[in-house]
Structure 1
Amino acid sequence: MFKSKIYLVVIALSLFKLQATAQEAPPRETLQLNLKETLEYALENNVDAKNAKLELLIAETTVKEELSKGLPQINGSFNFNYNPAIQVIFLPNEPPFGDPSIDSDVIPARFGVSYQSGLGVTASQMLFDGSFFVGLRASKTLRELTEYDRIKTENDVLVNVKKAYFGVLVNKERIKLAEANLTRIDSLLDETKAIYEAGLAEKIDVSRIQVQRNNTYTQVERSRTAYEISKQLLKIQMGLPKDYDILITETLADLNPGDQLNQLLTMEGVTRVEVSQLEKNLELVGLDLRNNTVQYIPKITLNANYQRSGASNELGNIYDNRNWFSSSLLGVTMQIPIFDGFLKSARIQRNRIQLDQLNNQRYFLDDNISLEIFQAKTNLKNDLNIMNVQKENMALAQEVYDISKIKYNEGVGSNLEVVEADAALIESEINYLGALYDGLISKVDLEKALGILKEGIND
């Protein structure tokens, strides 16, 4: 008895702690979004989109780096040296500089002092270097290519976000249909139980509907789980923190107008960013070819140097102005390439092969884009036809169910007919939602193929 009381107290304390924790937890902020707002948020907060913008900043620093090579290069220097043991040089002890007082045929002499110091400035200015101008142009082209890479990344983000957004809408709609189906089957189950208790139906009629009810309930729970998972996927694609919740203010019907889809089927599209990327790569390889070609041209550089040096045998006198002297240099250097073991020739040959490869890819890309547009339009047409058929099929299934229910209530129909009609109605609803989702996905694929994914954003 005492142990039972302790167990009850522990349970009560645990429940109190859980309740207090729930009250202390801050409420999750909910963002109400439509498709346009969702896409705009993703372009600003998706990790890949943000990194693409940072990559563009890196490309801009590359342009500055190349530009700096054509500006004066100035460096300063300072040194302080102490010679503990000054090197000794031996001289012959012979006239006229010999010293008769030294009993040796050589005279030791120290060349150097104990302390030395110096200050200097060196400067160089490129006068002519063909690779500098090519490199500067290449860095700007790289910056343009990086901009196209950013657009391509944003297009990929838009595709993923749109598909995730439609997934949330479909699962939300599935929950509504599943709950409506559950309400309908519960009503039928209550009616059948009442008829059974009145002795006008068999136990198997109740069991049959109970099985259908359990299947429908399972469908409701699965739809709710899928809805939560799809929301988490959308939040990841958007770059939205997990502490936030989202509420979509649109429905599938709002995003699937027939006129817009039919208009999309007649569009020819615009120049795809992949084409622009390939053209910039062609330009970069061409500039690399030009850079390797100008390596045969001499390079000219202006050099200047100014130096102040001082020395003393006493540390205290090393910075005495009397011990310091100036020197300077001004000159021009010309670097003339003579022979490099055919290195430049091999690089030029490689560049020409790369240009051939990219030109082949260019032709293939044009054909591939045309095929992609054709496939996307064909898929969308097919999905629209299937969607219309499934919509009609759902209406027919609803009609069959209503008639079966009326016949059953009037005693001229069987319970089995109602259950089968209900199962067929549920299946037709699921098929219609699937066709609607497929149509939206095909719409996104066609927008991508036509190169119009960003239309309507940031207007």
Structure 2
Amino acid sequence: MDFKTTIIFLVACLVGFGQLTAEAQQVIPITLEESIKYALENNVEAKNAQLEVLVSKGVIGENLAKGLPQINGAYDFTHNMAIPLVFLPNEGPFEDPTVDSDVIPARFGVDFQSSLSVRVDQMIFDGSYFVGLKAAKTLKLLTEFDREKTENDVIEGVKKAFFTVLVNEERRRLVEANLARLDILLKETESMYEVGFVEKLDVSRIKVQRNNIKTDLDKATTATSISKEMFKLQIGLPREYTLEIAEKLDDFNTEDDFLTTLELDGYRRVEMDQLNTNLELAKLDLKNNQVQYMPKLDGFLTYQRAGAALDFNSIWKQRNWFTAAFVGVNMTIPIFDGLSKKNRIQQNRVQIRQLENQKLFLEDNIEVEKFEARSNLRNSLKTLEVQKENRELAMEVFEMTKIKYGEGVGSNYEVVEADAALKEAESNYFSALYDAFIAKVDLEKALGILK
């Protein structure tokens, strides 16, 4: 059962029993691979990027439809409440001696008119249509690259959030162990104080150190809780679910894994694909403006039935309806547009030059990112090795100091100082470990191998 199936099963159980309470919640184990897979399906940014791909498919269909026949129907009904007048000269064959005017008003028309028509328009030639089709397909390709870039960003965020949770949990466990160690030392010191082997000051000194570590434990617990909530937000999991990381730091903290990443040459960067596609779109926009100088040719066909009558009831009789049909072509020839197309073409050429400059810069920037990420990871690994050794030495010093104190040849102050040094060494070690993991993720991103 994969992680998503587990979520669905859990929801079904909770709804079935009607127990959406804190007691009914179950802890769901999750790995890094499952986290990435779930995030790519449920993270808001990832889902929107996938929906944008669907939008681009609709844009292709919309542009394709412009080249298909456009069929429209029309119906109209007119009641001529006052039939329009036509004025004729009152002379010659139209002269009417009974009219004392040089014009004769005549009404031509009927009281009721109606028509039903169907018109078919078909584009025969339009240079911008074919450019638009290619541009729509290129736009879809750009949205695919945008989706890939978004998914890379999501994977980067998930990995960093995942390692943040792991490091915080490990740091919390070590603080708990440190607190338990001091509790034992405090009990031993209090026992020694009761029999007069140590002073009250020794007990107080350890209590102060214990209180400080207790505060550190509260901070570590809070940091762990916050990082888990941020992790759930990153993968798109509702807050009401409780997650438990099913992997440990040791599963990832392998020297070979870090060194292998350092030796990789890298893969294609989606940012370069995005820029190349934007450059292609700019060239298509230039071409579209250039073809605007070419004529456009369209064909049309109209079929019409028209009727007329002097009264309302007669207009619906078949004998009063007559057929008309028209077929023809329409050519639009651009002559002068106030230099609008010329200015748009000039803008396109400037945009293309800008994108070409950005491409050169991006190529150099990618190489710098690789160099910087490799350098940061190497430095982080060196720092991690040093802090690992310091941690081991601090643990050794603490154990020896504690033994000396137990045998009566060491001071309580030395034990407290050794414990403080051990706590600092452990904190430095996990900070270095976290930096190493983040540097590795940054190098994977720079090499284009995030997965």
CA distance in 1, matches of 2:310, 2:97: 28
**AA of the residue aligned to 1:227:** T
How far the C-alpha of 1:100 sits from its partner, in A, is 5.6
Q: Match of 1:310?
A: 307
**Contact 1:390/1:432 (CA < 8 Å) preserved in 2?**
yes
Give distance in 2, aligned partners of 1:78 and 1:88.
Answer: 25
Q: Which residue matches 1:254?
A: 251
Using the TM superposition, give the Cα deviation of residue 90 of structure 1 relative to its aligned residue in structure 2, in angstroms.
3.7
Aligned position for 2:376: 379
**3-state SS of 1:307 partner:** strand
Q: Following the alignment from structure 2 to structure 1, what is the Cα–Cα distance between the partners of residues 407 and 22? A: 55
| Match 1:126 to one of 123, 126, 136 | 123
**Residue number in structure 1 paired with 2:56:** 59
Mapping of residues 349-368 of structure 1, within 5 Å: 349-368=346-365
Relative distance call for 1:244 and 1:118 in structure 2 (3 A) is: same
Structure 1: which amino acid aligns with 2:189?
A: T
3-state SS in 2 of match to 1:282: helix
Take 2:247 and 2:20, find their aligned partners in 1: how far apart are those partners? 32
Q: Find the aligned partners of 1:26 and 1:324 in 2 and give their Cα distance.
A: 79
Distance (whole Å) between structure 2 residues aligned to residue 123 and residue 215 of structure 1 = 85
Instruction: Name the structure 1 match of 2:6.
Output: none
Cα distance in structure 1, aligned partners of 2:109 and 2:33: 80
Give the partner amino acid of 2:239.
K
Aligned residues: 433
CA positional deviation for 1:34: 0.6
**Within-5 A mapping of 1:385-400:** 385-400=382-397
Residue 30 (structure 1) shift: 2.7
Which whole-Å CA distance do the structure 2 matches of 1:439 and 1:175 have between them? 19
Flag structure 2 segments of 5+ consecutive residues without an equivalent.
1-18
Identity across matched positions, percent: 57
> Structure 1 CA distance, aligned partners of 2:404 and 2:440?
42
Give a deviation string over 1:291-340, Cα, whole Å, max 9, x none: 11111111111111111111111000012111111111111111111111
Say if 1:29 and 1:243, in contact at 8 Å, map to a contact too.
no
- 1:31 positional shift: 2.0
1:330 is the counterpart of 2:327: yes
Compared CA separation, residues 301 and 267, structure 1 to 2 (3 A): same
- CA–CA separation in structure 2 for the residues paired with 1:101 and 1:210: 129
Q: Please state how far the C-alpha of 1:252 moved relative to its aligned partner.
A: 1.2
Name the counterpart of 1:240: 237
How do 1:226-237 residues align onto structure 2 when only pairs under 5 Å count? 226-237=223-234
Write the letter of the residue equivalent to 1:369: I
Structure 1 runs not aligned, ≥5 long: 1-21, 455-459
**DSSP-derived class of the 2:29 partner:** strand
1:446 to 2:443 alignment: yes
Q: 2:420 aligns with which of 409, 414, 423?
A: 423
1:40-75 per-position Cα deviation (integer Å, ceiling 9, x unaligned): 000000000000000000000000011011101110
Cα distance in 2 for partners of 1:442, 1:432 equals 15
The letter of the residue matching 2:388 is K
Tell me the amino acid that sits aligned with residue 264 of structure 1. T
Match of 1:209 in 2: 206
Deviation at 1:221, TM superposition (A): 1.0
1:179 aligns with 2:179: no
Match of 2:399 among 399, 402, 415: 402
Where does residue 143 of structure 2 map in the other structure? 146
Q: Deviations over 1:386-433 (max 9, x none)?
A: 111111111100110111001001000000000000111111111111
The two structures have a TM-score, normalised by structure 1, of 0.92
Distance 1:218 1:26, change over 3 A: closer
Partner residue in 2 for 1:168: 165
Displacement after TM superposition at 1:217 (Å): 0.7
Q: Distance in 2 between matches of 1:26 and 1:136?
A: 58
In the TM superposition, residue 124 of structure 1 has moved relative to its aligned partner by 1.1
Distance apart, 1:101 and its partner CA = 6.0
Q: Which residue of 2 aligns with 1:6?
A: none
Q: Distance in 1 between matches of 2:96 and 2:316?
A: 34
CA distance in 1, matches of 2:146, 2:45: 11
> SS at the partner of 1:221?
helix
Give SS of 1:318's match: helix
Residues 88 and 94, structure 2, Cα contact 8 Å, conserved in 1 = no
What is the deviation of 1:104?
6.4
For 1:268 and 1:42, locate their aligned partners in 2 and report how far apart those are by CA, in whole Å: 27
CA-based RMSD:
1.6
Structure 1 distance, partners of 2:436, 2:73, is: 69
Distance in 1 between residues matched to 2:339 and 2:219, nearest whole Å? 69
